Amino acid sequence: MATITKLKVDELRKELSSRGLDTTGTKPILVKRLEEAIEVEEEENKKKLNGDKKRSRVDSDSIGSVKMNDVEEYKKMSVKELREVATSRGISSTGSKKELVERLCDGADSQNNDSKDDLGVGGECEIEKLVTATKKGAAVFG
C-alpha cells in the first residue's frame, strides 16, 4: 500500500480509470479510492482461491433434472418396451438401446416445446398461405 502513495496524481488517475472508478479529487482522495478498490479485488481473489466455487444456479436446472430422470427411466426399460414407447410417439423404433434412449429423450424435449405451442403460449398464430404456380407472365387471381 505504501507504493500507492508514491504514485503521481496522473498515475493514480490512470489506475482508477482502468478500474472504472471516479478520477476526480485530490491526491489523498485518489489514494484512498485506489486502496479501497485494491482491497475489494484482493477479497474477490481470495474468495475465488479459497473454495467459494459455488456455481450460480440457472433456471434450466429443473429442466435438466427432469431430463436426467427421463434418461434413467428409459435405461431401466427393456429394448422391447423402448420400441413400444417410440412407436407410440411416432419415433423410429430401430437401432440399439442407446440410440432408442437418445431418440426418446430428444423426442421428449421436442414434445415439451410443442406442447407450449399447442396451448397458444409460444409464438403467434401461423396462417397457411396458398401459393399457385403459374407460367411466367400469367396473371394469378385469388
In this structure, what DSSP letter does residue 137 have? T
Instruction: Give 38-53 pLDDT, tens digit per residue.
Output: 999 888 888 877 765 5
CA angle 103, 106, 110 (to 5 degrees): 130
C-beta of residue 33 within 8 angstroms of C-beta of residue 21: yes
Lookup result for grid cell 489506475: 15
C-beta of residue 4 within 8 angstroms of C-beta of residue 27: no
- Top pLDDT among 23 and 65 is at 23
Q: What is the mean pLDDT of residues 110-131?
A: 55
- Top pLDDT among 43 and 126 is at 43
Report pLDDT for 141.
63
CA proximity to 100, closest of 129, 128, 122, 70: 70
Gap between the Cα atoms of 68 and 92, Å rounded: 21
Gap between the Cα atoms of 83 and 97, Å rounded: 9
Domain ranges, ordered by start, for the chain? 2-50, 61-116
pLDDT at 63 > cutoff 60: no
Report pLDDT for 57.
59
Instruction: Give 92-119 pLDDT, tens digit per residue.
Output: 888 888 888 888 887 766 655 554 444 4
Report pLDDT for 102.
86
Report pLDDT for 119.
47
